[in-house]
């Protein structure tokens, strides 16, 4: 028990949002939370993964179509559950193979028509394709083509294809196939894959990626295998998907965390029965891959005369499990991620963005992983602070295990106060010292109310950082505090109510993992 707040194994201290007592700080036993320690060896993983892909290319005579699942250079889920895994690790791994790599980006024409957007970035899939091309090219990769899958003369898809052509990007069309994926005879024929436009490629490793799920990566790979075979070229297929990690137990927290991340898709991790039967080894795979494997196997046999694989696990090349160097750290980080996913879903339910069933599934996953919100120090501290003060409060776990709190005041929102308190603590600056004078805050608040149409004069997180920057011109302490922003990466924050999207985005840009209680501060129908 610390300051009346229970905890399990992670020492922490709740800093008052009015003033700091440095004599107390000096005697508090601090420890680094497992989420702040390294559980994953990035460099080891990159080396092993690149070597395994090279081995698979050689297995197929020098031509491999690699279905690249998940996010390439902004995989924040992996970095949260595997501390030490950098968000761009997979991208860096590909860079070690750059001279052998050609990129093909698949996008579903129906997604273009419907304006489907990425939930993490908030941009449409079609715009994300352009973003991906720019990033790949800036890092020296060859982007060969963009393929529009499920193309059926959709007007928006036609306009997008024309736009790509104007930009000098090669675009190919793949069409819906009647009876897909079960009518093998039709699919693997001139009336199936044969109608798709052939994508000309020049490199040994063709990475097929996409802005999101359902884009047609697998179908693109198989269509290319058909066309390559028709041209007398032997080519292979493999799948690169980080999760679930095949050589971790089914109920390992890392794998449960992935199930929590994809709970809205109604999918599940299962034991690969084909691998168990073929080799007597227990491995973990995704239910969709297991269900579709007999169909894929039949397609391989139809295209190439025989199948190179005996199981869905065989198709994968993922080596992430071998990069784990501290299982305890990864387990703890994954449990915290499951809790965050629960809070996200609970808030989405309040916002009308998901069903009650999603929240219930996440509650079951928390039970399965033996974790509850009460085991997260920031959650407990934020609720305690809200109860004590009767106002919106937040708490943030710092790298040394200390928990700092902040609450809404007349000048600052809870997220802004929490951010400022955390930075002051990291800089070793007494909270009683004024960093942002009222002469700076007052005009900002006035502008918000009188000119920008806001009803709330309190500063948001981004606004308090701008005010801090201005203060830094005349106050060196403010500059010292601002310099601590880099030390917030990987920290956990929790709030007693749903905070604004602006504040959430700012916290995420700083690398802070943020969650909220599933309720609004004000009872009204419309919330921005």
Output phi, psi for 51, to 5 deg: -65, -40
> Do residue 163 and residue 46 come from a single domain?
yes
What average pLDDT does range 88-100 have in this prediction? 94
> Do residue 58 and residue 196 come from a single domain?
yes
Domain that holds residue 212: 42-242
> Do residue 234 and residue 181 come from a single domain?
yes
Assess whether pLDDT exceeds 50 at residue 26.
no
Assess whether pLDDT exceeds 60 at residue 262.
yes
Indicate whether 129 belongs to any domain.
yes
> Do residue 20 and residue 155 come from a single domain?
no
pTM, two decimal places: 0.87
> Do residue 18 and residue 48 come from a single domain?
no
Residue 62 CA to chain centroid, in angstroms? 32
| Residues sharing a CB contact under 8 Å with residue 263, sequence separation 6 or more, in sequence order | 341, 345, 358, 361, 362, 365
242, 264, 280 - which closes a domain: 242
Q: Specify the number of domains making up the chain.
A: 2
What is the Cβ-side half-sphere exposure of residue 307, based on CA atoms within 13 angstroms? 17
Indicate whether 476 belongs to any domain.
yes
What pLDDT score does 22 carry?
26
Q: Which residues of 116-146 are buried (b: 16+ CB within 10 A; e: fewer)?
A: bbbeeeeebbbebbbebbebbeeeebebbbb
> Do residue 25 and residue 70 come from a single domain?
no
218, 242, 266 - which closes a domain: 242
Indicate whether 67 belongs to any domain.
yes
* CATH number of the structural domain spanning residue 221: 3.10.630.10
What average pLDDT does range 420-447 have in this prediction? 86
Which uninterrupted H or E stretch holds 492?
strand 492-495
Indicate whether 110 belongs to any domain.
yes
Assess whether pLDDT exceeds 80 at residue 20.
no
Indicate whether 407 belongs to any domain.
yes
Assess whether pLDDT exceeds 70 at residue 81.
yes
Indicate whether 421 belongs to any domain.
yes
Indicate whether 178 belongs to any domain.
yes
193, 225, 242 - which closes a domain: 242
> Do residue 115 and residue 21 come from a single domain?
no
> Do residue 81 and residue 23 come from a single domain?
no
What average pLDDT does range 56-67 have in this prediction? 95
Indicate whether 422 belongs to any domain.
yes
Q: Tens digits of per-residue pLDDT, 363-403? A: 999 999 999 999 999 999 999 999 999 999 999 999 889 99
> Do residue 234 and residue 104 come from a single domain?
yes
> Do residue 113 and residue 215 come from a single domain?
yes
* CATH number of the structural domain spanning residue 477: 3.40.140.40
Distance CA 290, CA 287 (A): 5
Assess whether pLDDT exceeds 70 at residue 233.
yes
Contact 490, 442 (CB under 8 A): no
> Do residue 64 and residue 19 come from a single domain?
no
Q: Tens digits of per-residue pLDDT, 267-311? A: 899 999 999 999 999 999 999 899 989 999 999 999 989 999 999
> Do residue 20 and residue 90 come from a single domain?
no
Give the mean pLDDT of the chain.
89
* SS3 state at 324: strand
Q: Tens digits of per-residue pLDDT, 331-358? A: 999 999 999 999 999 999 999 988 999 9
């Amino acid at each position: 028990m610390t300051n009346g707040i229970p905890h399990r194994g992670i020492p922490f201290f709740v800093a008052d949002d009015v003033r700091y007592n440095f004599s107390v700080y000096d005697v508090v036993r601090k420890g680094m939370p497992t989420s702040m320690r390294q559980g994953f060896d990035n460099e080891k993983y990159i080396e092993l993964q690149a070597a395994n892909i090279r081995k698979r290319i050689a297995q197929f005579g020098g031509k491999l179509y690699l279905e690249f699942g998940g996010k390439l250079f902004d995989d924040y889920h992996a970095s949260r559950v595997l501390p030490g895994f950098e968000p761009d690790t997979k991208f860096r791994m590909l860079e070690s193979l750059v001279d052998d790599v050609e990129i093909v980006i698949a996008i579903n024409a129906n997604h273009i028509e419907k304006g489907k957007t990425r939930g993490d970035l908030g941009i449409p899939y079609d715009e994300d394709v352009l973003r991906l091309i720019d990033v790949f090219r800036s890092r020296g990769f060859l982007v060969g083509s963009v393929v529009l899958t499920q193309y059926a003369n959709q007007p928006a898809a036609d306009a997008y294809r024309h736009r790509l052509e104007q930009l000098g990007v090669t675009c190919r069309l793949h069409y819906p196939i009647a009876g897909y994926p079960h009518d093998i005879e039709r699919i693997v024929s001139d009336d199936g894959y044969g109608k798709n436009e052939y994508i000309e490629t020049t490199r040994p490793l063709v990475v097929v990626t996409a802005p999101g799920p359902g884009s047609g990566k697998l179908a693109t790979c198989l269509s290319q295998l058909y066309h390559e075979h028709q041209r007398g070229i032997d080519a292979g297929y493999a799948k690169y998907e980080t999760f679930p990690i095949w050589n971790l137990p089914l109920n390992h927290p890392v794998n449960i965390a992935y199930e929590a991340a994809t709970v809205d898709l109604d999918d599940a991790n299962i034991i690969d029965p084909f691998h168990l039967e073929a080799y007597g080894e227990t491995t973990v795979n995704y239910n969709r891959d297991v269900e579709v494997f007999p169909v894929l196997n039949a397609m391989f046999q139809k295209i190439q005369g025989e199948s190179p694989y005996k199981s869905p696990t065989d198709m994968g090349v993922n080596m992430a499990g071998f990069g784990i160097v501290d299982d305890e750290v990864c387990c703890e980080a994954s449990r915290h991620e499951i809790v965050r996913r629960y809070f996200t879903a609970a808030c989405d339910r309040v916002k009308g963005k998901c069903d009650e069933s999603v929240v219930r599934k996440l509650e079951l996953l928390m039970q399965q992983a033996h974790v509850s919100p009460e085991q997260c120090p920031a959650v407990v501290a934020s609720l305690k602070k809200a109860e004590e003060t009767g106002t919106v409060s937040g708490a943030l776990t710092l790298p040394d295990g200390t928990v700092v709190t902040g609450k809404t005041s007349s000048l600052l929102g809870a997220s802004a106060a929490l951010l400022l308190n955390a930075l002051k603590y990291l800089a070793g600056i007494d909270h009683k010292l004024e960093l942002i004078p009222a002469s700076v805050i007052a005009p900002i608040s006035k502008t918000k109310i009188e000119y920008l149409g806001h009803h709330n004069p309190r500063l948001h997180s981004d606004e308090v950082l701008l005010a801090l920057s201005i203060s830094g011109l005349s106050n060196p302490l403010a500059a010292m505090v601002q310099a601590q922003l880099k030390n917030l990466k990987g920290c956990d924050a929790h709030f007693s109510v749903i905070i604004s999207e602006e504040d959430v985005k700012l916290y995420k840009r700083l690398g802070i993992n943020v969650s909220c209680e599933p309720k609004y501060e004000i009872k009204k129908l419309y919330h921005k």
